[in-house]
Amino acid sequence: MTDRLVLVINCGSSSLKFALRSESEQKPLLSGLAERLGTADGVMNWKAGDIREHVAITDGKHSTAMASLLPLIERFAHRPLTAVGHRVVHGGEHFTGASLIDDEVLAAIEDSAPLAPLHNPAQLTGISEARQVFTDIPHIAIFDTAFHQSMPPHAYRYALPEALYSQHGVRRYGFHGTSHRFVSTQASLLMGLEPGHGAWLTAHLGNGCSTCAVLDGKSLDTSMGMTPLEGLVMGTRSGDVDPNLHSHLARTLGWDLERIDNMLNRESGLLGLSEGLSNDMRTLVAARAEGHAGASLAVEVFCYRLARSLAGLAVALPRIDGVIFTGGIGENSPLVRELTVRHLALFGLAIDPAANATPPGNPARQIQAGNSPAILVIPTDEERQITEECLALLDLAATQPVEQEA
Ligand code: AMP
């Protein structure tokens, strides 16, 4: 069988991220990011092996950025694409896995748009542009929420009037599903368990952060909720706050919903706690070492709340085969891992300091001490997961009998 190729696309309102992945190779053949779309300064930076170049997207159109992918793919792929995989943030309750895009799937993505107003409309644009450029091959949607559709009602329901759930979809959905699925699958390989098996607590810590309890390849609970604001402290997002905060700020300061929304999503988290110093964990770790009180507090709150979330999610599992750290912070910050695990001594978890120090290349590894349950650092690779899910869907479709017309 030929080494199949998938183009992975993640379309934002002003950006288009892409990666060309082959079935057999660990690294992308080509990857890049078009930014500042919607302005006259649109630009697409890309790299393939050692080659790095950029293309101006002067009309700022998503369609122009998408069309400029075609010659690049011809140059580096040397064979036809098998499929295009589209990352879509919100699939509501419609999707439990990868889905071949057709009119029904497009309508369902649109139906979920009120739950992700910043993401789903942009991703629909990306799908439509891509279908015009890459014709005659399957386009497949992969949803951040799909992995968490296995959560039981006691984990996904809010204690709110029932009609808000049944008529308006108000429930916990969870996000970062592609990453939680990828690292928990890798963990079973790393620990020599049956593929896809094991009871894991995963922590995806990047600009957005979430935890997940995974049992034998199924998400049983996760820290994010109806939107990606719930749960952990993040770069600029508050995570959990008292739900009465909204009415308190409206009554006492006269803030309107937009202002509160903006504050919770863009001015809070590490940025807010560090007195506006930074949303970047690297800057905060360096400032903490120099005695910056705000940076110190931000790091402490981040790690404590993360540990509290992991401890809470443990109740979803029958045992703990391992705790997994991933994402930019999870993979690269020994300090965050150390401070977090210190709060989890109750579970017998302890870190080996030498193993915790970040080696060059940051490969997947175990960092627990002595008799501690496994603590794993596993670099995430969402594009690889998307590629694998696309190809698995095509393989499944190829083995299913064609439906006979009545
Ligand atoms: P991601 O969204 O997964 O790319 O993660 C981005 C975040 O990773 C940034 O906000 C940084 O705070 C964090 N990060 C990257 N490298 C390091 C590092 N060496 N130490 C601490 N945090 C890091």
Q: Quick check: CB of 307 below 6 Å from ligand 1?
A: no
Q: What is the pLDDT of residues 51-100, one digit of tens each?
A: 999 999 999 999 999 999 999 999 999 899 999 999 999 999 999 999 99
| Residue 403: pLDDT band with limits 50, 70, 90 | low
> How many whole angstroms from 282 Cα to the centroid of ligand 1?
7
What ligand 1 atom has the least distance to the C-alpha of 283?
12
Annotated binding residue at 218? no
- C-alpha of residue 58 to centroid of ligand 1, in Å: 31
**Cα–Cα distance between 119 and 374 in angstroms, integer?**
36
Q: Which residue has the tokens 């009465």?
A: 244
Distances from the Cα of 101 to the Cα of 88, 98, 130, 149, angstroms: 11, 9, 12, 19
Give 319-368 pLDDT, tens digit per residue: 999 999 999 999 999 999 999 999 999 999 999 999 999 776 778 999 99
Token pair, residue 26, equals 């660990």
**Mean per-residue pLDDT for 154-180?**
97
* pLDDT score of 236: 95
- Note the pLDDT of residue 402: 57
Please determine, for residue 1, whether its predicted confidence score (pLDDT) is greater than 80: no
pLDDT tens-place string over residues 246-284? 999 999 999 999 999 999 999 999 999 999 999 999 999
The fraction of the chain above a pLDDT of 70, given in percent, is 98
Average pLDDT over all residues of the chain: 95
Determine which helix (DSSP H) or strand (DSSP E) holds 336, and give its type and residue range. helix 334-342
- What is the per-residue pLDDT for 406? 44
Cβ–ligand 1 distance for 31 under 6 Å, the answer no
- Distance (Å, rounded) from C-alpha 1 to C-alpha 27? 20
Please tell me the predicted confidence (pLDDT) of residue 115: 87
CATH number of the structural domain spanning residue 227: 3.30.420.40
Task: Identify whether the C-beta of residue 198 lies closer than 8 Å to the C-beta of residue 322.
Answer: yes
| 333 CA from centroid of ligand 1 (Å) | 8
State residue 272's pLDDT score. Answer: 98
Confirm or reject: Cβ of 202 under 6 Å from ligand 1: no
Instruction: Tell me, using a 6 A CB cutoff, whether residue 332 lines ligand 1.
Output: yes
* Mean pLDDT, residues 166-189 taken together: 97
Q: Which of 312, 290, 285 is nearest to 300 (CA)?
A: 285
Helix (H) or strand (E) holding 20: strand 16-22
Give the range of the structural domain holding residue 138, as residue numbers without chain letter.
Answer: 5-143
CB distance 327 to ligand 1 below 6 Å: yes
**Running DSSP on this structure, what letter comes out for residue 82?**
-
- Identity of the residue numbered 141: A
Indicate the top mutation candidate among 232, 278, 332 to test ligand 1's pocket, ranked by most ligand atoms within 8 A of CB: 332
For residue 154, being part of any structural domain is answered with: no
What is the mean predicted confidence (pLDDT) over 164-181?
97
CB of 333 within 6 A of ligand 1: the answer is yes
Clarify whether 103 is annotated catalytic: no
**Structural domain ending residue among the three candidates 103, 125, 143:** 143
Ligand 1 atom closest to Cα of residue 208? 2
Catalytic residue among 50, 111, 144, 216: 144
- For residue range 6-26, list pLDDT tens digits in order: 999 999 889 999 999 999 998
Query: If 0-12 CB within 10 Å is exposed, 13-18 middle and 19+ buried, where does residue 383 land?
Result: buried
Using CB atoms within 10 Å of the CB of residue 231, give its burial: 0 to 12 exposed, 13 to 18 middle, 19+ buried: buried
108 plus 243 within the same structural domain: no
Q: What is the pLDDT of residue 13?
A: 87
- Residues 10, 33: Cα–Cα separation, whole Å: 9
Which ligand 1 atom minimizes the distance to the CA of 235? 10
Q: What is the pLDDT of residue 401?
A: 67
Greater pLDDT, 374 or 118: 374
| Cβ neighbours for 378, distance < 8 A, ≥ 6 positions apart | 183, 186, 187, 190, 324, 325, 326, 331, 364
What pLDDT is stored for residue 128 in this prediction? 95
244 is in an annotated binding site: no
Q: Is residue 95 part of a domain?
A: yes
Q: H helices then E strands: how many in the chain?
A: 16, 14
Does 217 lie in the same domain as 126?
A: no
Q: How far is CA 144 from CA 102, 212, 265, in A?
A: 19, 13, 19
372 and 253 in a common domain? yes
pLDDT value for 118: 82
pTM for the full predicted model = 0.94
Same domain flag for 313 and 238: yes
- Number of domains comprising the chain: 2
Kindly state whether residue 249 falls inside one of the protein's structural domains: yes
**Nearest to residue 339, comparing CAs of 379, 302, 288?**
302
**92 has binding-site annotation:** no
Tell me which residue has its CA closest to atom 18 in ligand 1. Answer: 332
